Amino acid sequence: MASVHDRMLEDLKLKNYSQGTTMQYSRCARKFLSAIKCPPSRASERAIRGYVLEMAKESAPSTVRMHVAAIRFLYKVTLKRPKLVDSLHFPKAPQRLPDILSRGETARLLTAVHSPKHRAVLMAAYGAGMRISEACTLLTTDIDSQRGVIHIRDGKRARDRFVMLSPVLLTALREYWKMLRPTAPILFPGDSPGSFVSPEAVRNSLSKACKELGMTKRVTPHSLRHAFATHLLEDGADIRTIQALLGHGSIRSTARYTQLSVAHICKTKSPLDRLPRCGRNKVR
């Protein structure tokens, strides 16, 4: 008979959850199942809430939110006992703005990445606004040089989309291809045959480049996606276009970049500048 955890994995697969979400839910469920002292179907609402409350004392709100989501899925879908988690709410997470790389910082950072493969992945992430998972899993057939687009398949929420293929990025990809000659159709292969390059490996290369440059900003591969959107906005791109390029389901997710664009903010006149001069105190 399949274990509760195995049944949960089957339910996640049947609902077509992404591989990343499935892995995170699986990890959270394993931790929860090992922590409670009885079969999960017999756990009380008080015990479940107590587990989450203890976690909230030691973990960040984003971590707690992921565990709550996994536990709610476990009880609502797999165990068919939704009432036990109806009162389990998602904690509010502070809305902090990320550090944004300037164009000069972006150029220096990409140049400082030593691995040609990892540099090409990061250039794709910045040049087309891709998530690191999307850039790592590109296929050679996704690069359409004739139409000047990249086909991003199975993005977040299983959505496909097209993004621009920068001539600079196309040149960089061709140079990378000539140098390493990867086996098609995988554009950025991993260490084992038939695998994709690991996002963690790319993340480590980027971290080393940041240290070498002495960067004080907090930089991850996702920072390049933030920079892509912010720099487009500063160049006058329409926010709806940016939303489509990023693959955002809601315009609200894209609108946050208006808070990140210094150029956009500086162009906005303060109402103080429009007050009549007679309303100002004279300096003596």
Active site (annotated) includes residue 257: yes
- 185 cis-preceded (ω within 30 degrees of 0): yes
What is the separation of C-alpha 203 from the centre of its chain, rounded to a whole number of angstroms? Answer: 12
Task: Considering the candidates 5, 49, 151, 248, report the single residue annotated as catalytic.
Answer: 248
What is the separation of C-alpha 239 from the centre of its chain, rounded to a whole number of angstroms? Answer: 19
Task: Considering the candidates 118, 131, 161, 226, report the single residue annotated as catalytic.
Answer: 131
Q: H or E element: which one contains 162? A: strand 161-164
Q: Which residues contact 78 (CB under 8 A, 6 or more apart)?
A: 4, 7, 8, 11
Task: Considering the candidates 67, 225, 226, 231, report the single residue annotated as catalytic.
Answer: 225
Task: Considering the candidates 30, 31, 222, 240, report the single residue annotated as catalytic.
Answer: 222
Cα separation, 181 vs 170, in Å, equals 15
Active site (annotated) includes residue 17: no
Active site (annotated) includes residue 156: yes
Q: Are 213 and 165 in contact (CB under 8 A)?
A: no
CA-to-CA dists, residue 173 to 56, 167, 244, 270, angstroms: 45, 10, 23, 44
Residue 106, classified by CB atoms within 10 Å of its CB into exposed (0-12), middle (13-18) or buried (19+), is: buried
Task: Considering the candidates 65, 156, 203, 208, report the single residue annotated as catalytic.
Answer: 156
CA-to-CA dists, residue 145 to 103, 185, 232, angstroms: 25, 16, 22
Read off the tokens for 54. 């203890």
Active site (annotated) includes residue 248: yes
Q: Which amino acid is at 222?
A: H
Q: Are strands 161-164 and 149-152 parallel, antiparallel or unpaired?
A: antiparallel
Positions marked catalytic: 131, 156, 222, 225, 248, 257
